[in-house]
Amino acid sequence: MSDLYSSICISSVKASALGIAGIDIPESIGKPNPVLTALAEKKLSGKPVDKVVIYNPDAVALWIYQKYTAMFADAALCSDVALPMLSVMPSVTPVCFASMYSGVMPDIHGIKKYTKPVLTVNTIFDSFANAGKKAAIVSTANDSISMIFLDRDMEYFIYDTPEEVNEKALSLIDEDRFDLIVIYNGNYDGTMHKHGPEASESLAALEMNIAFYSELIAKINREWKNHSVFYGFCPDHGCHEIDGGCGSHGLDMEEDMNVIHFYGIKTAE
């Protein structure tokens, strides 16, 4: 493994969220992210959060954050920490999100290539349901998150466009029915595949992702004053440019494996 790879894997997201929400962490998965554990200890004084909201914009590489840092100002300012994270191989969407939300590597959860079977291993959604809590996914149709986590005791809100997804996600904050909300946007990934990671069209899609995350957190702060909330901006993998000016991912290389995550904890008033 390259010395320049990030040291904490995206598979730690599940354990981190469960621990901060006061839900038992299965012994079969890895430990929580130590930075997030320290953040929770500092802000929560040993109490669990009421809500977890995780936003998953697709394909946001660490190198994009490093090169276009100013673009991420709003995401950084509404979060507590910005963390370099390591994806899994192969660095393609269903494999990565399966690891992020099951807490285990591909050899264990079973998705080892770009396929979208329904996972049979325990996921964060199962852990929340088993704890008597309500979970929801808000995603675009036929994307990995809308398919590999089906057949669970939770609610699914599946739409045709990212704009519809984001509108519904904001409305779920108003409804205040769910303890875990996972939101997916694939617009940057789709655009960068066609035009390249740094094309104006791709960067505009990324700006939309950052703006939505900021809007989402502002709404949480405004509408959920009585709730404590753990939230995150959590891409699955990175990206790189290929011949012809298009974008791709899936390789064991820094551009694809290193991603940027933002996290925050809002305390109840």
State residue 2's pLDDT score: 61
Cα atoms in the 13 Å half-sphere on the side-chain side of 36: 31
State residue 252's pLDDT score: 95
Position of tokens 């992210």? 33
Burial state string for 211-225 with b = 16 or more CB within 10 A and e = fewer than 16? ebbbebbebbeeebe
Interval 47-57: pLDDT, tens: 999 999 999 99
State residue 1's pLDDT score: 52
First to last CA, the chain: 44
Q: Spell out the CATH class of 12-266.
A: alpha beta
Confidence of residue 243 (pLDDT cuts 50, 70, 90): confident
State the average pLDDT over residues 197-217.
Answer: 98
Q: What is the pTM of this model?
A: 0.97
Interval 58-101: pLDDT, tens: 999 999 999 999 999 999 999 999 999 999 999 999 999 999 99
